[in-house]
A and B are shown apart, each in its own frame.
Chain A
Amino acid sequence: MSRFFATGTDSESETSSEEEHVVRAPAPVYTFSDDEEETKRVVRSMKEKRYEELEGFIHSIRNHRKIKDFSSALASFEELQRAYTRASSVIQKEENGIAPRFFIRALVELEDWVTSAWNDRESRKAMSKGNSKALTSLRQKLRKYTKEFDSEIVKFRDNPDLPDDDEERKEEPSSDESDEEEKVKEKPKVRRSPEPQRRPAPQEDESSDSMDWGSSSSESSSSSDDETRGAATLRERFLKRATERDDDEEGDRRRARRERRDRVGKVSKKDQVDDGGEWETVRKGAATSDKPKMFAKDSDIDAALVVKKLGEVSAARGRKRTDRRAQLELLHELRTVAAQHNLGDALQLKLRAATVAALFDYNPKVSDAMKPEYWSRLVENVDHMVTILLAHEDMMLSESITEETEQLVTAPFQVRGSLLIALERLDDEFTKLLKECDPHSNEYVERLKDEVRVSALIDRVCQVVERDGTPQEICRAYLRKIDHLYYKFDPRAVKKDQPPSEETSIKKMEKFCKYIYANDESDRLRTRAILSHIYHHALHDNWFQARDLLLMSHLQENVQHSDPSTQILYNRTMANLGLCAFRRGNVKEAHGCLAELMMTGKPKELLAQGLLPQRQHERSKEQEKIEKQRQMPFHMHINLELLECVYLVSAMLIEIPYMAAHEFDARRRMISKTFYQNLRASERQALVGPPESMREHAVAAARAMRRGDWRACLNFIVNEKMNAKVWDLMVGADNVRAMLGRLIREESLRTYLFTYAHVYASLSLRSMADMFEMPRQRVHSLVSKMIINEELLASLDDPSECAILHRSEPTRMQALALQLADKVGNLVDSNERIFEKQGSFFQRGGAPRGEGRQRDRPREGWGRRQRNRRRDDDRTHED
């Protein structure tokens, strides 16, 4: 609002400024955002902005109506339509989708005018060509458009005299200032029921005024010398602001008077309206920005007085025109005063709590992070609160204590407030701060150093909460702690020879999580605790514990019903579980864990590690904002390349032998679609160059494995490039590489047997062991397993240590014949199904005989296939 004064329209009265301005220059709504930035920016809600825009267009339509300029009216109407669609989301939210009344009124008026103009044939003939054309199209467009608001228009026509925003807005300039102020505060309510609302506002002001006057009358008489000092600081402030206006003309006395009122906390509206001169000064320094004296010098300062002051200061909280910085300073001053007069720690605590609240208020936008310095102050303040609380056994800080039951002077102290909420918000703000800065900059590192402070603070808060919190509160505090613990790798925990007394993070997690499991009443905390616990176990290679916890919690079944952030945590947990399974050599499980994440092709989004541009539909602003809020800070990210590599390698180890075994199988299923596509894409290429990226390496390895060339496969998977990119990122990289070597050999052997068994009459186990550089025992075991599972039609000849292959692997011809048989079988099946479906149709024609048997069979087969698939799915998760 102060922008007006910057442009020098000082004769204007403040209240009328905003609306009048908009009315006069309707189109360039956005243009003045520039001067807004120069001066102190007033943040208006989205709703206000949109409504102003709408009103602007309505007003211009009205103007065009007066001069009967149809073509301009048409243009404005189109603008209005567009503006309304823009505002529709706000309307959806604020008004439940009901179009605001002033908008309907405008539509009705416009309609009336257009119909009358249309009916007046005489003048229509007299119209210019352009105008009459515009009238026609306006009429059509309007008709079409009003259809959408039919019901509302009918309602409006029934009762057109009800006051609406528009009227209210017209009245506003004449109404006094306090009204405006109240409106700002309670805008949503005003829109719906302006009449009853207007009544209490002045009353409230009056009453508070009179009360304030009463309380401060004693000071005002003796405050002459404070006033001069206050004026001096005020002047300094003005000078610093470098405003062009010279306000020295203002009489000291007058200023003092205003100041005194400011100090009282409320600006008396009547005075304001009366002497317009004072207005400007208020604007200049922003309503409560000046630093008033707290108390008279010789007055007795005691706790009650300070609390009263505090009440006054915080009463201004959340108002549009309160200067938040000034509030902070006031609170700070109050604190020093309280400290000087030794008013006790309880009061200090209360003041600190108020400061914390004010600091949170300082940042008007919820979605944006607060400034680091303010955050830092926040930490200090909360820290002080904790110190005070810890120092006094008999001090309680709780939300359940009301203002009336507070006990600040005598022990046991009772203070209203919540440490936990402060902590939670502080932590959230910290995450926001991290997300705001570039993860690759030094700034991020600097910010991240604060994590230690936050963790320490959480620890201390836990102590307090453990002392006098309810179990649920303790759970919440613990969960915060877990949140800061679960993604960190503790090298002590994986050491074999750790002393049992050592507090590893695993033990800590165990302690906190167990408490939450036992005491949590809301399922959400427990779910999050379990997920974090699994994550932590997986991080430290405790595969079995992690797996059992996951299976026993039955989270897989119902996680899709939980909130997005829990689902993200679930995804992160599954990713880590997959990595853990892989490190432990459980390839199948690793694949099962990761498949869900990788199948969609957007693990980045699923893990909340960045937004992908969407092709089909644009995100709305809000949605983008929400999604941005969900993102993980960078230091908690999981390496996506590592994830993908692990996934591809496990898919390779499973898929390639499977492909080899089922080469002629008509009903072969793909185990991993993503991997398959990659492989296909590479096979389609005429010329394959040496692999560059991780993905190419994986595919090249897969192709080598298909030939049974384990050495090449291993070289593609484990080499310097891949080491640097992937394997070295793992804990126990050497173990992982050894495991890979072993698995690749085994699976290559299996693939080799599947692929080339038909060209052998017998295979010596010994030579196979040599070929694949495996112990003979292992080869024997593998071959035996294949024979038992009937994957390899052979039997061992013990004395010569050979596998004698039975000539029953189908030849190409036979395989094709088998395939054909399968397909024909499918055909018969589907015939029967069709027949069954039409059965009812045939039945109408009579002759239901002999059908029962036929109907049962295909259905049974169908059910079995489905059941099998489900079992397969289960297996991938569970074993």
Chain B
Amino acid sequence: MSYSKFDLTFKIGQYLDRHLVFPLLEFLAAKETYDQSELLQAKLEILSKTNMIDYVIDIRKMLYPDEDTPEEIKSRRGVVLSQLQELQDAVEPVLRLMQRDDVMKTVETMRDPKTLINYLTTNKEFEFRIDMIDSMYRLAKYRYECGNYVESASYLYFCQLVMSPTEKNYLPVLWGKLASEILVQNWDGALDDLNKLREFIDNGAGGATATNMQALQQRTWLVHWSLFVFFNHAKGRDLIIETFLYRPLYLNAIQTMCPHILRYLATAVIINRSRRNALKDLVKVIQQEAYTYRDPITEFIEHLYVNFDFEAARRKLNQCQAVLSTDFFLIACLEEFVENARLMIFETFCRIHQVISIGMLAENLSMQPEEAECWIVNLIRNARLDAKIDSKLGHVVMGAQPLSPYQQLVERIDSLSVRSEALTSLVERKQKVRTDIRWGGQEF
């Protein structure tokens, strides 16, 4: 449990919605890193500002089995229910409208909120009024607070359709939609919302990001919330690199506000074999931020690509496994991480070495020698490595041939003659054209 010092739940929690923290806490509870009752206490505290009364009662029972639920909570339950009913009544027509598939289809095809509202209000049959949008928004929020994320998401979807981006509630609607989609684990929807939200923030529309400070804050939140999406969606692994590393605004936000996100970025780069070129940029960022944030994962990269200290990298890799297994977001890619990290070590090794003893290699990769040999054989067979195994000595011999100076020279001057020839012919042609004209002039 010594890895709890690398636990980022607390840091990340600061930037998440209370509802989004639950999954993290549940995960921690399952891992038994912390004291169970403490966790329950924390949950209770989070719940205190929501309307998930039933859940509160459950947890209280777990925490204090011999106590009765206080009256206050029971009465609050009633209040919450009645309020919910009230809100629901206010938007009754809309709810009915949403039940009708044909209407929703036409609604969805309309791109412009104005024409949409026009369509809804003019059509008497819908009984739609403008102020219902607000009520709808409130209902969605209430639903969300009660933990009915599915309903909340669908209500917010409607809000999003009818609201124009300049309205003041538009940003909260987007955030709410994203949170709901995440909580119902609808990753495709969440990714869409994420992109919408990002565009909205980056464009600074609707005065949402009036000052740089606000924009920075919004981006920081977005960075944290997006972790849920990126590590669960199929395309997330590419997107996380795109967003965090190659969008200067977000990289900036990470560097100034939350360098701990580098862990996720580093992991994403490591497990994404096709994005090896991102490593260079990542190393730069990690080095730059090394003084504010370091954990086994960033240190692993540093050791491997800055110091070329394989021994230390190996040690860090072991630590990484432990850290990954206690991280809510990363636990899913633990296997992949280890595999790729090994490969990285080995690749670097091969680039430097000519002859490697299998024994040492196995040690560096934390494998059994036989296992390592098998692994290398596989690599060679898949033509990813130009090497031979000297089984007698237990060595791997690299087959790379260095470029001779002669070849270098040839390469360098190869194109020169072609280029010069082309140039001369061009000049000659022009010269000819000019003399031709002169000749012509003389003749006539």
* A interface list, Cβ under 8 A from B: 544, 552, 777, 780-781, 784-785, 787-788, 793, 795-799, 804, 806, 808-811, 814-815, 817-818, 821-822, 824-825, 828, 831-832, 835, 842, 845-847, 849-851, 854, 879
Contacts and interface: CB of A to CB of B under 8 A. Distances in A.
8 contacts: A781-B308, A788-B351, A798-B360, A808-B404, A821-B409, A828-B419, A879-B287, A879-B288
Contact of B426 (A552, A810, A817, A835): A835
A846 B352 contact: no
B423 A854 contact: yes
B405 A799 contact: no
A828 B413 CA distance: 11
Contacts of A811: 405
A450 B140 CA distance: 68
B422 A817 contact: no
Interface in B154-175: none
Interface residues of B, number: 44
Interface in B349-396: 351-357, 360, 393, 395
Contacts of A793: 402
Contacts of B288: 879
A845 B433 contact: yes
B429 A847 contact: yes
A799 B355 contact: yes
B408 interface: yes
B352 A796 contact: yes
Contact of A788 (B256, B348, B403, B413): B348
B307 interface: yes
Nearest to A543: B291
Contact of A785 (B308, B357, B408): B308
A780 to B, nearest CB: 7
B75 interface: no
B308 A845 contact: no
Interface class of chain A by DSSP: helix
Task: Kindly name the residue among A784, A809, A825 whose own CB sees the greatest number of chain B CB atoms within 10 A.
Answer: A784
Most chain B C-beta atoms within 10 Å of own C-beta, residue among A804, A845, A854: A845
Contacts of A809: 405
Contacts of A795: 352-354, 398, 400
B353 A846 contact: no
A787 B355 contact: no
Contacts of B406: 814
Q: Please report whether the interface of chain B is mostly helix, strand, loop or mixed according to DSSP.
A: helix
Contact of B420 (A804, A806, A831, A849): A831
A593 B356 CA distance: 43
A414 B76 CA distance: 58
B430 interface: yes
A806 B401 CA distance: 9
B426 A854 contact: yes
B427 interface: yes
Nearest to A798: B356
Given A781-B308, A788-B351, A832-B419, 16 more contacts: A544-B291, A777-B311, A784-B308, A795-B400, A798-B353, A799-B393, A808-B404, A811-B405, A818-B412, A822-B412, A825-B413, A835-B426, A842-B434, A845-B434, A849-B429, A854-B426
B357 A850 contact: no
A260 to B, nearest CB: 67
Contacts of A851: 426
Contacts of B434: 842, 845
Interface string B406-436: 1011001100100110110011011001100
A37 to B, nearest CB: 61
B309 A818 contact: no
Nearest to B412: A821
Given A544-B292, A793-B402, A821-B409, A828 B352 contact: no
A552 B256 contact: yes
B431 to A, nearest CB: 9
A879 B429 contact: no
A828 B355 contact: no
A742 to B, nearest CB: 14
B405 A814 contact: yes
